[in-house]
Amino acid sequence: MSKTKTIFKKEQILGVILGVIIAYAITAISLIATAIAITYTNLQETAVPAIVMITCVIAVTIAGFDASRKADKNGWIWGMAAGGLYAIILICIITWAGEGFTLDTRKIMLTLLSIIGGGLGGIIGINFKK
């Protein structure tokens, strides 16, 4: 019986990882589209922070949805785990690409929205199976 539980947990963890990978693919496509739009249209660079936040919330909601599809219960927890992992990786990328780590309101808001969005996606995903 313990082998079944171990395999099940591995599948759930793989579901979280797959969800985060899909979320980053969505984020990359959206940011590339935004860069193209800024280059070739009248879209102002001041719109970028809002676009990034909206993209991240949509991406982590989808990540939470995907992560919870591998679970039998507690989809919101698996969704929040996917959202939290997404936020941690994104903050690491921002820190690596920038001038170092600073904890500001944008990063805190991004983390909270990622966790909440992932949880919402997890709730939708776990109930979508039924």
Give yes or no for a contact between 81 and 67, defined as CB atoms under 8 angstroms apart. Answer: yes
Quickly count: other Cβ atoms within 10 Å of residue 41's Cβ. 8
Nearest to 67, CA basis, from 9, 129, 121, 107:
121
Prediction pTM value: 0.85
- Chain centroid to Cα 101, Å, comes to 20
Q: Say if residues 106 and 72 touch (Cβ distance below 8 Å).
A: no
pLDDT in tens, 16-34: 999 999 999 999 999 999 9
- 8 Å CB contact between 108 and 116: no
Q: Above pLDDT 70, what percent of the chain? A: 92
How would residue 6 be classed by pLDDT, with cut points 50, 70 and 90? very low
Residue pair 25/44 in contact (Cβ under 8 Å)? The answer is no
Domain ranges for the chain, please list them. 2-128
